Structure 1
Amino acid sequence: MSSSTTEPAAPRRDTLNLRIPSADRNLIDQAAAALGATRTDFILRAARRAAEETLLDRAVLCVSPEAYEEFLRRLEAPAQPNERLRKTLQAPTPWTPT
């Protein structure tokens, strides 16, 4: 009895050609090498992250007028200090020499 297994097809890949100054290409190559990535992987990862951030920045939330009023009320209310906030504000900053 023989059975054949079918491997899923690899996702289709398209080509994207860019013309960039060699100084930019060299910078990208250095950064990719520092991460152990190829130039293509590095650029694709960075472009995808920028695309996602751009789209998320334009997300629209629809809420009821009551929920929006509650949001504004909390936003405009003065901060209520608590122990965790006090401790954080008193902690030394990493950029201040000790």
Structure 2
Amino acid sequence: MARTVQPNSNRRSLAPKDDVIQIRASASMKAVLTRAAALRGQKLSEFMLDCACREAEDAILNQRTFLLDAEQHERFLAMLDSPPAPSEPLQELFRRKPAWEC
């Protein structure tokens, strides 16, 4: 089954931070980042890391190309050809009138 990446800022903040990432920026870029970090009540490095990780997670989740070997490809096609029956909660959801039509 496919595994999704769950954004988890707690995971990032509780993990030991022993790697260093260095980056160069113009004074104006740093000023914008510093201002945004202050608005969120974060240190600049914490703000930058949170934003970078969020973007990285989005990039991973938006990946549209994936490679499968022959066996995985056959299993994938079989799953597409025989989807599971809709669960009762899903059927109930489809029976409800959409909020925008109320």
Instruction: Select the structure with the greater relative contact order (CA < 8 A; seq sep ≥ 6).
Output: 2
Structure-1 separation of matches of 2:80 and 2:28? 48
Could you list the per-position Cα deviations for residues 5-61 of structure 1 after superposition, in whole angstroms to 9, with x for gaps in the alignment?
xxxxx8352222211121111111111001100000000101111112212222749
2:80 aligns to what? Answer: 68
Match of 1:16 among 7, 21, 33: 21
SS at 2:97 equivalent: helix
Quick check: 1:89 aligned with 2:94?
no
Q: Percent identity?
A: 23
Report 1:44-55 matches (<5 A).
Answer: 44-55=49-60
Quick check: 1:35 aligned with 2:48?
no
- Please, what TM-score do these two structures have when normalized by structure 1? 0.54
- Please, what TM-score do these two structures have when normalized by structure 2? 0.52
Identify, as 1 or 2, the structure richer in helix.
Answer: 2
The number of aligned residues is: 71
Gaps of 5+ in 1: 1-9, 72-80, 92-98
Larger Rg: 1
- The root-mean-square deviation of aligned C-alpha atoms, in Å, is 2.9
Question: Runs of at least 4 residues of structure 1 off by over 4 A?
Answer: 59-63
